[in-house]
Amino acid sequence: MRIIAGKYRAKILQSPKNGVVRPTADRAREALFNILSSKFGNSWEDCRFLDVFAGTGAVGLEALSRGAQKVGFVDINTINVLQNVKLFAQEKEKIKIYKFDARNLPPAKEKYNLVFLDAPYEKNLSESALEQLFCKCWLNNAAMIAVETQKNEKFEAPKVFEVVDERIYGPAKFRFLRLS
């Protein structure tokens, strides 16, 4: 697993071998960022990126490499993301790690305008995490959210969100949402 583009292109990230964490594949991550770049419309320097169910943190660190001004990571188990964040010590002022259950977030201290959710497949966690992000004010009004699920997994966005696009890459399906 590696960073695909930006300042840290080709930097190798650590990935656990135990199968507990399922990182987004490099090719799917590259496609995701191509789509986000076209849909987000802002420069990466204006991006406040939140990686929810962060796992290894690869997606958030990709945003950091591309120039995001702030990157937050939410996960109930931060061991894997902490290992990879250590590889970016010179960027520590831009990184915030939140050790929270995404289904039960505290009120936000910061708002994010680009969010990626990659919950464990087939556990129906994305919908409740999205509700928490909205209700606890983690999103700014123009936020774009990308949700990764297994391609055949049932997903229904909470009513405050509108699905604006869907794409399938191998076993993964990406849904792109905005506040409606």
Please classify residue 27 by burial: count the beta carbons closer than 10 Å to its beta carbon, then call 0-12 exposed, 13-18 middle and 19+ buried: exposed
Average pLDDT, the chain: 92
HEC letters along 91-108:
HHHHEEEEECCCCCCCCC
| pTM beyond 0.85 | yes
Per-residue pLDDT reduced to its tens digit, 20-77: 666 677 788 888 898 888 877 668 889 999 999 999 999 999 999 999 999 999 999 9
> Which pLDDT score, from 0 to 100, does residue 180 have?
87
Q: Domains plus CATH for the chain?
A: 44-179 (3.40.50.150)
